Structure 1
């Protein structure tokens, strides 16, 4: 640009139109370059986020031998977004693969467990939801599950709920939940240790109030009772702690996990993600980078559409409960579903 102006000043031949054309050409090329760079960056970001997502074809693996789908009520709404009720199985996996997960307590590379299991029922209209936690220490009948090699596992009676994921991954986890509840899981979402911690950090932390001191060396969490702004590592510690609270059982931990879920929803709703592309990308990268879904949610477009359909769902309209349980007759350290209360709860989600 400077060279063009100097040439014009020295010529004195009245060639202003030529100079103007050169200036406009330079500006035009610059803007074009910025535009191409912007489009290229956006395209790369979309490709990156889209390829972050891992998926499992649960419908294909389980076939038709499942609880019936709930058909949506016909609506006259012209909204392009879905509004029907949904049941989503959400697992937090104790993944043992990858350096980041290992540093957060995932252990060796010998496998993974479903450390947290929640059935999220989204009401028709998608303005309210119920989150039902299933204790991982629940004794269940684990059905025969298909294996990746083409075989099947044997039915197991009185076995730990989280053994389904350890044995047969997401497919067996879904089938076991459907067998336990009689409710069709429309979608599956799984996030591992590092993904959860990165999500909290990307949101700037999460504010949680604890009712008692927590002192748990195993989850590396030491907190006084009160309100705390937790980073990703400490939020994960809160989600995992069990030995530092109550009787040290999984039931006490579930109460903290449910409190953390609501706090995260409040944090997300109070964060201006749409007005901050950098933060939005950071959050999206954190989520998709450690996410496994069913094939119905395995693209950025489908996940975005799903998220947009929940735009009217606030934390105030999310109810958190635990599946009713009692101590297992065969093992004082395990629980079983308490009937008829558990059955009535699941029936209300159909």
Structure 2
């Protein structure tokens, strides 16, 4: 009789044609199917459960926000894929990139909050007390899981956006203008040393120059021995002091040798009051780094506008953030601080060993691999450091960076200092993509490394810097005759 009266009143057909909004609450099977559908629809199309079965105004707002989110996401992906140069340019414009990322972060957090509201509201619309007992826990658990996935993903993405902005802002100089390539190359001085106590007298344990071909992205890494003596300087304050090459300072604190790695100590302690390189700190560098940069320019005969300092004290954290590195070890190496007296066997002081063969190294092992020198030569150590640099570059895959981004960014901020401006991100990111498919060319300026053009080895006690510059020029700009295929 009730159904008949309802039909006569003109309500029954409307009820039967709107099972989502006006279900038969007494039918647990209908309510159960409706509950599963609402939960799934709420995850796939946020706002749709409210339009179908609840507050239409809230639903329309949710649908509009969802459409806007997908539109912005698709637009960002298309820009990154089709208009890559614009995307990289945007990253390089510090203030604009910061403004966009702040807006994006706010939207993502807003979406996360909205999805929580919509998810909880959907669970209310389900009316768990009306569905089958066996399905109540399943529907509630699914709703909770999907709510965590949707809001958690938005929150995670907001964190990624914020980390990207903060990392770029803290590592790279924001205001410095970009520099054009020199003779077809971007050259960067790469320095490695331990920080911490005694930083003022820190000597660089690793000195190399990364040269990136501005057209092809091909990378050449030139290793400069830390003990390279009597180095010439590019024009500047140090060349004025040492027109015939660096011969060191007669001082008890920093006059040990004329080695290139003594320059940081000399500038930071012995010449701290002389006002050399007065703009260094303001430009994100130090007098000691600038002096070392001028020395590297003088040795190689190239222009080096930028530096990157790797803090070996935090180096292991970056390796671990990358998921470790794959290294082929050619000989057994000890871990530890070295012998207590001359001739002490490594077995007596080693705290562990790095065995021969292929290894997937953790950060701690990789750090010892780069440092170990007491059972091998400095030249071998230089080669291992270059090998490790190459292994790390291989780990910077898009997949690895995406899945480990937070860890990599945190470790990278602690481990690296540089004066590379953010405005250089566009050319450097483009070249990095090109470089991935090419082998890294390595040049080692030591007696066991790369021979000079006449076939002779480099004299580590009295280097021929003119011959070294000719070697570097030939390696970076191979002779046209060598590029011409044989008939």
Same fold (TM over 0.5): yes
- Mapped partners of 1:305, 1:195: distance in 2: 28
CA 1:305–1:290 in structure 2 vs 1: closer, same or farther (change >3 Å)? farther
1:284 Cα deviation after fit: 3.1
1:24 matched residue in structure 2: 59
1:114 matched residue in structure 2: 204
Identify the structure with bigger relative contact order (alpha carbons < 8 Å, sequence gap 6+). Answer: 1
Query: Do the aligned residues in 2 keep the contact of 1:118 with 1:131 (CA within 8 Å)?
Result: yes
- Mapped partners of 1:312, 1:54: distance in 2: 22
Higher strand share: 1
2:432 matched residue in structure 1: 310
- Mapped partners of 2:467, 2:355: distance in 1: 35
Find the structure with the greater CA-based Rg.
2
Q: Secondary structure at the match of 2:315?
A: helix
1:322 Cα deviation after fit: 0.6
Residues 1:272 and 2:403 are matched in the alignment: no
Query: Do the aligned residues in 2 keep the contact of 1:95 with 1:193 (CA within 8 Å)?
Result: yes
- Mapped partners of 2:176, 2:65: distance in 1: 49
CA distances 1:236-284 after superposition (whole Å, capped 9, x unpaired): 1111111132xxx321211211222222233334x6236xx34134323
Residues 1:47 and 2:165 are matched in the alignment: yes
1:163 matched residue in structure 2: 262
Q: Which blocks of at least 5 consecutive residues in structure 1 are unaligned?
A: 1-6, 10-15, 60-67, 72-83, 98-106, 327-332
Q: Secondary structure at the match of 2:404?
A: helix
- Please report the TM-score for the alignment, with normalisation by the length of structure 2: 0.51
Higher helix share: 2
CA 1:307–1:236 in structure 2 vs 1: closer, same or farther (change >3 Å)? farther
CA 1:30–1:122 in structure 2 vs 1: closer, same or farther (change >3 Å)? closer
1:244 matched residue in structure 2: 375
- Please report the TM-score for the alignment, with normalisation by the length of structure 1: 0.69
Q: Secondary structure at the match of 2:204?
A: strand
For 1:335, which of 461, 481, 484 is the aligned residue?
461
CA 1:128–1:29 in structure 2 vs 1: closer, same or farther (change >3 Å)? closer
CA 1:252–1:28 in structure 2 vs 1: closer, same or farther (change >3 Å)? same
- Mapped partners of 2:308, 2:467: distance in 1: 26
Residues 1:217 and 2:336 are matched in the alignment: yes
CA distances 1:215-250 after superposition (whole Å, capped 9, x unpaired): 2422766212112111112111111111132xxx32
Query: Do the aligned residues in 1 keep the contact of 2:316 with 2:364 (CA within 8 Å)?
Result: yes
1:75 matched residue in structure 2: none
For 2:195, which of 96, 115, 134 is the aligned residue?
96
1:312 Cα deviation after fit: 1.8
**Paired residue total:** 294
1:44 Cα deviation after fit: 2.5
